[in-house]
Chain A
Amino acid sequence: MTSRNHTQDSSGVRGFHLDHQLQLLPMDTSEKTEVVLLACGSFNPITNMHLRLFELGKDYMNATGKYRVIKGIISPVGDAYKKKGLIPAHHRIIMAELATKNSHWLEVDTWESLQKEWVETVKVLRHHQEKLATDSCDHPQRSLLMDRPGRKRKWDEQKQDSSPKKPQEPKSTGVPRVKLLCGADLLESFNVPNLWKTEDITQIVANYGLICITRAGSDAQKFIYESDVLWRHQSNIHLVDEWITNDISSTKIRRALRRGQSIRYLVPDLVQEYIEKHDLYNSESEDRNVGVILAPLQRNISEAKHSNPTA
């Protein structure tokens, strides 16, 4: 695990010293590894908390002096995931796009949600890593913000692409690396029986890396210590303290909506308006997939049965 230094001033507010403060001075940016943050999840709906994860992850990685975060990707899960209360992907995609409309570096990717079957997270990581490698080969000097085929294009990017104001991209050390951005809940879900394949977890932390935003004082460090796989690859697991307790879970948003309570200032205004306009969340929507087994559980349990017919 990378270390963080903490200070606490007399008013009890904690700040943290940047690990490599000296390196904030002009440094040859070609030595930095370019990083793309990928967040997988239901985004049902997307909230300000999800968006904050990206900001915190980016600040943290950039502050180490070793990385330069060039992009953030939101990859909403497909409907085949079969989670309770999961509304159709196209709505969740639109809300994520509305939420990132004013962002220069966040984008929404539809590849995962367009697949017919549920896709394991490690496969989504692999897909995006391979895509970056291909882009890098084809166009070594090309800005990664430009359009790629198959990706939903945001309307204001039209203007961005043609504007000459973007400076030359600095040289970088090879292909950008994709890392999985998540909260502590995902990390701890590694322990849920049959939710993850062990080899998938290993590949995620060995080949890609995890940036985990955790509430200050959470048990994430203990969790890593207690797992041999995570412990072995701890240098690839970055724990980022979240000093602002940001409990804006989608579950609570949906509950508030069912009760006629306001969700303003917890989600971007455009998302709140979209939800209201389409009446997306109510008791009926929350009953979707009730009694249906979650896709990863279904798949992992049945695969285990096949390899172990007597089980």
Chain B
Amino acid sequence: MKNRIPVVLLACGSFNPITNMHLRLFEVARDHLHQTGMYQVIEGIISPVNDSYGKKDLVASHHRVAMAQLALQTSDWIRVDPWESEQAQWMETVKVLRLIERSRSKTADYPVKHLPLHHHNQLLKSSAQMEDPDPSKTPSASAALPELKLLCGADVLKTFQTPNLWKDEHIQEIVEKFGLVCVSRRGHDPKGYILDSPILRQFQHNIHLAREPIQNEISATYIRKALGQGQSVKYLLPDTVIAYIRDHGLYSSDGSWTGKGKIS
């Protein structure tokens, strides 16, 4: 049986708060990669951005991490990595990718203080899980090192065009060395963005465009607005996250948010 390349999907972002749409990105991306017959997705990682990113209305990272953890309680393959959010300052996405990949290639050699130990345990656990008795469900991945790919929506792909937001050499490293899995979003033309950019065009074989046939435009911006106006957000994000938001008074209309970031 042909061996599939094991893949780990990493999503970076504000997750302010995490929504069902974020969670869907992972499911759609995994289905897409499996359908190619070439890959076996073994893990998904959510890495909430650091508070010093300075985005408007960003609540404190410990909240965003906690909410993501609650959302992923019932997932057996996606987890949260708080490392990026715990650093002293914001770091470029490519650095997060590099770091996570380094942690997998080295084993005991890697300075554990830079990463939670469970990182390694998770990797070992997911490798063990690949010995699944039902070969039709989970075809075995090769013993090769997993490929780490950046998972994002088409809107993020578009931001590559925004002046000064990304360094060109970083974009190149992301698509050349790692790879991108981009889930389509209404109003975006990911094929167009790729064709418009020389770097993306050159490495388009490493950019996987996944189509989400079930449009589900749950933006976190809308969620925050709805919460501010006292409207229901039930069924747009997990109940446990809604309860957390309520218990901690996040995103309320009187402006009492607990974010530390600057309001731009």
Q: Which A residues are closer than 8 A to B by beta carbons?
A: 11, 13, 15, 18, 48, 51-52, 55-56, 58-59, 102-103, 243-249, 252-253, 255-256, 260-262, 264-266, 268-269
Please report B residues at the A interface, Cβ cutoff 8 Å: 20-21, 23-24, 27-28, 30-31, 74, 186, 213-219, 221-222, 225, 229, 231-236, 239
Question: Quick check: A244 and B218 within 8 Å, CB to CB?
Answer: yes
A184 CB, min distance to chain B CBs, angstroms: 15
Give the tally of cross-chain contacts (CB within 8 A): 73
Q: Is the CB of A59 within 8 A of B231?
A: yes
Residues of B within 8 A of A13 (CB): 219, 221-222, 225
Separation of A13 and B224 alpha carbons in the complex (Å): 12
The 9 A-B residue pairs whose C-beta atoms are closest, nearest first, are A262-B27, A55-B232, A247-B215, A265-B20, A48-B235, A245-B217, A51-B235, A265-B23, A261-B31
A59 and B233 alpha carbons, distance in the complex (Å):
10
Report chain A residues within 8 Å CB of B232. Answer: 55-56, 58-59
Contacts A262-B31, A265-B20 given; indicate if A247 touches B216 (C-beta within 8 A): yes
Q: Is A246 in contact with B234, judged by CB distance below 8 angstroms?
A: no
Q: Which residues of A contact B233 (CB under 8 A)?
A: 55
Contact check, B236 vs A256: say whether CB atoms are below 8 A apart.
no
CB distance from B136 to the nearest CB of A (A): 10
Closest B residue to A272 by CB, please name it: B74
Bound complex: CA A246 to CA B215 (Å): 6
A264 close to B27 (CB less than 8 A)? yes
Bound-complex Cα distance A58 to B234 (A): 12
Whole-angstrom CA separation of A295 from B24 in the bound complex: 36
Q: Give which listed residue, A55, A252, A269, contacts B214 with CB less than 8 A.
A: A252
Q: Are B216 and A248 touching (Cβ within 8 A)?
A: yes
- Distance between A70 CB and nearest chain B CB, rounded to angstroms: 15
Report whether A265 and B24 are in contact in the complex, using a CB–CB cutoff of 8 Å. yes
User: Is A262 a contact of B30 with CB atoms below 8 Å?
Assistant: yes
**What residues on B are CB-neighbors of A245 within 8 Å?**
186, 215-217
Contact of A48 among B20, B30, B219, B222 (CB under 8 A): B20
In the assembled complex, how far is the CB of residue B64 from the closest CB belonging to chain A, in whole angstroms? 18
Chain A residues near B222 (CB-CB < 8 A): 13, 243-244
